[in-house]
Structure 1
Amino acid sequence: MVVGAGWALVGGIVGCLVGVAAGCCVWRLRPGADRKAEGEAAEAARQLPLAADLLAACVAAGAGPVVAAQAVGESLGGPVGERLAWGAAQVRLGGAPADAWRRVGEIPGADALARLLDRTAESGSPAAGPVARFAADCRAEQGRTATARARRAAVQITAPVGLCFLPAFLAIGVVPVVIGLAGGLMSGQ
């Protein structure tokens, strides 16, 4: 869009170059907090299935959900690990499980894990199976997201590739045919 504005305002190739330069400047001047939040959300989405798998393995090995969350949080680190360790520490200190796991639920896509940890803390129900299913669901969602991104990339690459090959097609395929037809018409008179 910025390239089109540069082309409309300045005109020609120089306008396109001005538009590209302006677009790069606008992109670089984005607030850093937005990029940091985007990076943290991407890191959390990447860590979530691994954290759930580790949590399920710890619970299946006999650890309680709070102990498992503490161990996974401390070993994993990052946004998911920090929140798991914080929630486990809050429950160990006597905090309400719903409040303690709410911070885990703030991670995009982790609200089901937070509800599961809260339900397990309240009822004492086994958590290994549901947490393993949650991890499988997270991995499936990541696969669907990656597939959608790849499809969008395939569609978005079509225009630049077409713009690169169209001049060559015209120069090598269409122009010689037109010249041949015009030569035939001119010599036929």
Structure 2
Amino acid sequence: MVLSLALAVLAIVLWPVPVLARGLAPARPSVAAEHRPTTEQIAAATDLLALALRSGSPLVVALDAVAAVSPDAVAQDLRRVRAALGWGRSLREAWAYAGPGWSRTAVATVVASECGAPVADVLRECAAALRERESRRLETAAGRAGVLLVLPLGVCFLPAFIATSVVPVVVVMLARQLP
């Protein structure tokens, strides 16, 4: 009785209420996050840019073409880069107008054009790297989810098993041993 009461008090004290509440709260992305392109959308747009550049289109035309067939978040970022290039900004400055998810694409474009490397080939590699990075991130998140799903088992079922199976056996054994 005392042991089960102690276990109940210990469970109440150690119960991860903030973690549980945070996990059950509906996720509300910020307004800015709703309009950000996903990594997969950026990788697809980067592949399309590479294809347009490989076909011989200049970067400005390629940006317009990809923006025309892309989702709104991607199209907005690409149109900002295109507009900055139209204003006479350098390639490095123009990519600064895109969102933070475009940093790898921006670096690949700037470095390839400054070094004289074929931009299309570098962009295809960049898109593959973006997809690989996102795949690793998702695998890590899935592994973490598995660990978090086992947590209730240890927190709830193990103490319940001890309280219903082990404690009664120990109490009966102690009652028989004591006069």
Instruction: Compute the TM-score of the two structures, normalised by the length of structure 1.
Output: 0.66
Indicate yes or no: 2:73 matched with 1:79.
yes
Structure 2 residue 149 is the aligned partner of structure 1 residue 152:
no
Structure 2 residue identity aligned to 1:157? L
Aligned to 1:9: none
Answer whether contact 2:113 2:119 (CA < 8 A) is retained: no
Counterpart selection for 2:32 from 19, 37, 56: 37
Q: Percent identity?
A: 29
- Paired amino acid for 2:153: V
1:116-155, aligned counterparts within 5 Å?
116-118=108-110, 125-155=117-147
- Name the counterpart of 2:52: 58
Per-residue Cα deviation, 1:39-72 (whole angstroms, up to 9, x for no partner): 444x343421111111112222332222111111
Aligned to 2:170: 178
Measured in 1, the distance between the counterparts of 2:141 and 2:115 equals: 40
State the match for 1:6 in structure 2. Answer: none
Deviation at 1:76, TM superposition (A): 0.7
Question: Which letter does structure 2 place at the counterpart of 1:57?
Answer: L
Q: How much has 1:175 moved relative to structure 2? A: 3.2
Q: Structure 2 regions of 5+ residues with no counterpart?
A: 1-10
Q: Could you say which residue in structure 1 is the equivalent of 2:155?
A: 163
Q: 1:107 aligns with which of 90, 100, 103?
A: 100
Q: Which amino acid aligns with 1:107?
A: P
| 1:163 counterpart SS class | helix
Please give the alpha-carbon distance, in whole angstroms, between the structure 2 residues aligned to 1:168 and 1:112.
51
Deviation, 1:131, is: 0.2
Give, in angstroms, the shift of residue 142 of structure 1: 0.5
Change (3 A) 1:124 1:82: farther
Residue identity in the other structure for 2:96: R
Partner of 1:98: 92
**Aligned counterparts of 1:163 and 1:98: Cα–Cα separation in 2:** 52
Determine if contact 2:112/2:122 at 8 Å carries over to the other structure: no
Distance in 2 separating the partners of 1:183 and 1:123: 84
CA contact (8 A) 1:120 1:127 kept: yes
DSSP 3-state at the match of 2:30:
helix
When the two chains are superposed, the root-mean-square deviation of aligned CA atoms in Å is 3.4
SS in 1 for 2:56: coil
Question: Residues 46 and 174 (structure 1 numbering): CA distance in 2 closer, same or farther, change over 3 Å?
Answer: same
